[in-house]
Every structure is written in C-alpha cells, then in structure tokens.
Structure 1
C-alpha cells in the first residue's frame, strides 16, 4: 500500500471514529445549542455546537487514573448573561493525600461558562468557585456517609440558583453572619476531622468567600484575637 492510500485510510478511520464519538456524546441545551464531548483515556474535551457540524471547544478536563465525564449540564440566564453549567464527575474512591477523609464513588466539579450568541464561551471563575468541587465523604471505619456534596444532582444546583443565599451572594449582600450552633473552623472548604478552632452560638463573623456551601470567614473575639477559616454555612443564619 503506497503512502497516499495509507494517508487516505487514516483520514477515513479518524473521521469515522470521531464522528461516532460525537454522535454518542451529545446533550441538547435548546434547539440551536448542544454540548458535545469526546473522552480519550483520562481526558475529556467539551465543545458547544449548533447541534450540527459547527463545534467550538469550551474546555478540557484531565483526571489521573480515571475517566472524567459529564454528569449533567444545563443553561441558565444570570443577569442577562447566558451561562452553561457543566458538572464533571469521575468514579474513583479518592483518598485525601493527608488521609483525613475519603470520597465515596463520584467526585464532582462544577464549572460555569458565559457564552455569547456565537458560541464563544469563557469560564466565569467566580461562579464556578461558588459551587466548587467535592463529593460525598464516607467514614471507612464505621462505613457511614458523614458529609454530602450539595450539588450532586441537577435538581439541587437549580434549586440553589433560585435560593436567597445565591441571590444575596450574587448581589454582594453576603458580608457577615451569626453562628446558630457550635461549628468547627476548618482549613479547607470541606468536612475534615481536624480543625483550627470553633465558634459557638451567637458569635459574629465576616465573610470573605463562599464555596460549596462553606463560608470562608474571619472571626475576632473580645480580646482582639482573629481566627480565619471555613465553616459550614448550615450552622449559620446565612443559610437558614
């Protein structure tokens, strides 16, 4: 077989394989917009299209030793901006490098992209960080789930978009809060058995950041000592 025939055969097989991939990984957002994905080993390429042949790459995700996939996706208008919410997950029991906690089954990454009418998309990092990443955490010794990631389903994320909590954050109204019950201060925006301190009912704090329904706060006691870290939003008046 000469070089030209080999080249043509390669092009044919490449097109056939990729066409098959895209045909099996298409999610329709509306009549004119689709999300398409291509899984290759431990990498996932994600595109937005006109539901026909015009593709534009949104992003790619690479997960060592696992295969990322789109868990769910939908669009939503926020302040007259067209946003695509992509929730990527991978099935791997992930162990924290410090052995503080273990994720059960899926680990989720919520990403938000602002897209224009020409399907040019750019990640809204502030919005992505608000929803964050994580998964359900299991206590292996007792075999019990001790923490649930708040956005493991499309229904839960959509409910959050309509919540007063999200609207106050979006409008810059989340600047302080009050503790409703004892809550631990963590060094990460997640459940962990190790803490940097704790707050009790009635303590007032300032909010620096929000992620996955955890609040990055600064607390100053009556002696002027300042403590900062992450607390669970559900233990405050901010989420209740």
Structure 2
C-alpha cells in the first residue's frame, strides 16, 4: 500500500511539473507567468524590438503581450507595448479586473525598469514605474490608451535632495484597486470635470512633473474643478482669482467636493 501511494505521488508531481504552459509555443523568454482571463490566456514574452521606420533590429529587448483566445493561435497585442531602456525591465504584477459601468474585463500590468545612469534623473530612485491597461476584443488584446494615460508613468520616487516630494502612486495591485474605487476613476473612462476642494496649501505646476513648479499656490478650502489626471497629478481649473488658472497639482492635495462636505 505504501509503495503504491509513493508511486501515485511521483506520477502526480511529474505530470504537474511537465504540464505544458499555454504560452510555451511562443518564441522568446516568458517574462511573467501566463494570466488566465475569461476568454483565454495572456502571455508576457521578452523579444527583440525593431526600429519603427526600418524594421531592423534595434539591439534592445522589450516585453510584449500575446493573447490566446479560447485555444486559438497567439496574437500579439495591438498598441504601444511596455516601456524599455537598456533592459526590458520587469513586470511587478499583472491581473484582470471588471471595471466601468459595463463591468468590462481589463488587464492591468504594473511594470518597472532601471533607467540607465546617463539618463537617470538626479535625486530620484532611478527606477521608472508604469501601469498599462489592455482589454480583450475578439481574438486580440487592445491597449486602453485612455486608462493607461490616466495611470501614467514616473520614477518610483523623486526628492528635492532632502526629502521625498513625489511618489508614483500605483506601485502595487492594492494601489491600483484603490485608485479604481476612487471618485477620480471616472477619468479612466471619459473626460469631464470633478468639483474639488484643496486640503492643504499646494503649489501649482505648469506640467505634471516636479520640475515645473511655480510660485503660485492654492490654499486650504479653495475650490476648483479637476479636468485631467495622470500619474497622480490633477489638472485643475481654478476660477476664484482675478484670472482663471489651469495648472497641475498632486491629486493627494484634493478632496472631491461631495466628500469634503461630509
């Protein structure tokens, strides 16, 4: 009985170890385990990047997404792929969620890469993060540019030489889930405006980055409307001064008006 049990365990372990991955037939290194979604499987493959104009190999590698729909042949995702530099970087996490009013299944890919020393921003982590969003359509994946731009990309942190003044807000699955549940998530789907109130004195920026800081600022209680969002930055339209102001500040400095009144 004992010998039979040992033999059965060996067979089960062997069959599990040699079970074929749905992505095994795609040429290239598997950069992340296959992601099973409702209609099939998503594969993450490291492969050579070709020059957009000439089609010749660039000498660099990137990570591409492939979709295997209901056992069909793998199809490379449409749209811009994941960021790359001297290396293809790595996928921190990849998962699917049903989002929006129609509960469409979307694939979220959190990616990071080390920026080469000659290009790295001073007083930064040197590690660049991004969140890319895709959704299945027929037998392929399409990049959701609107949602991807909403999450954006930036260094994991930036400092002024003394303290951290910015952190990329979506570095984990939990961060992404919380963002999708926030009132600002409306901008992932469509444009518009959301009334907000300033929580603390906040300097304004010409662009959504710390290098474009100005001497202008809003104070506690100032009311404005958010019109655009990327990488944790909110573009606000402020009408409370002598002239309208349309500039950027960090979304963490704002309360949505409905919440501010609670």
TM-score in terms of structure 2 length = 0.69
CA contact (8 A) 2:123 2:161 kept: no
User: Aligned partners of 2:107, 2:212: CA distance in 1, in Å?
Assistant: 35
1:177 equivalent in alignment to 2:196: yes
Gaps of 5+ in 1: 1-15
Question: What per-residue deviation string (whole Å, max 9, x for no partner) do you get for residues 194-222 of structure 1?
Answer: 32621112222222201122211122344
Distance 1:42 1:161, change over 3 A: same
| Aligned positions of 1:105-124 closer than 5 A | 105-116=126-137, 118-124=138-144
3-state DSSP of counterpart to 2:210:
coil
1:235 equivalent in alignment to 2:256: no
Question: What per-residue deviation string (whole Å, max 9, x for no partner) do you get for residues 68-125 of structure 1?
Answer: 332221111222322111222212267879x6x5431421121111213x33222222
User: Aligned partners of 1:230, 1:55: CA distance in 2, in Å?
Assistant: 41
| Aligned positions of 1:28-43 closer than 5 A | 28-30=35-37, 32-40=40-48, 41-43=60-62
Distance 1:20 1:111, change over 3 A: closer
Question: What per-residue deviation string (whole Å, max 9, x for no partner) do you get for residues 8-65 of structure 1?
Answer: xxxxxxxx9964624x643223473232212433422221225967211115345333
User: Aligned partners of 2:104, 2:26: CA distance in 1, in Å?
Assistant: 32
Structure 2 partner of 1:215: 234
Gaps of 5+ in 2: 1-23, 49-59
1:63 equivalent in alignment to 2:84: yes
2:244 to 226, 231, 235: 226
3-state DSSP of counterpart to 1:129:
helix
Deviation at 1:150, TM superposition (A): 0.7
User: Aligned partners of 1:95, 1:226: CA distance in 2, in Å?
Assistant: 40
Distance 1:231 1:94, change over 3 A: farther
1:90 equivalent in alignment to 2:113: yes
3-state DSSP of counterpart to 1:60:
coil
Question: What per-residue deviation string (whole Å, max 9, x for no partner) do you get for residues 152-203 of structure 1?
Answer: 1112112222234425865877422121211111122233473262111222
CA contact (8 A) 2:150 2:187 kept: no
3-state DSSP of counterpart to 1:159:
helix
CA contact (8 A) 1:76 1:84 kept: yes
User: Aligned partners of 2:132, 2:187: CA distance in 1, in Å?
Assistant: 20
TM-score in terms of structure 1 length = 0.75
CA contact (8 A) 2:91 2:112 kept: yes
User: Aligned partners of 1:150, 1:94: CA distance in 2, in Å?
Assistant: 24
3-state DSSP of counterpart to 1:156:
helix
| Aligned positions of 1:134-153 closer than 5 A | 134-139=154-159, 141-142=161-162, 144-153=163-172
3-state DSSP of counterpart to 2:81:
strand
- Residue correspondences, number: 219
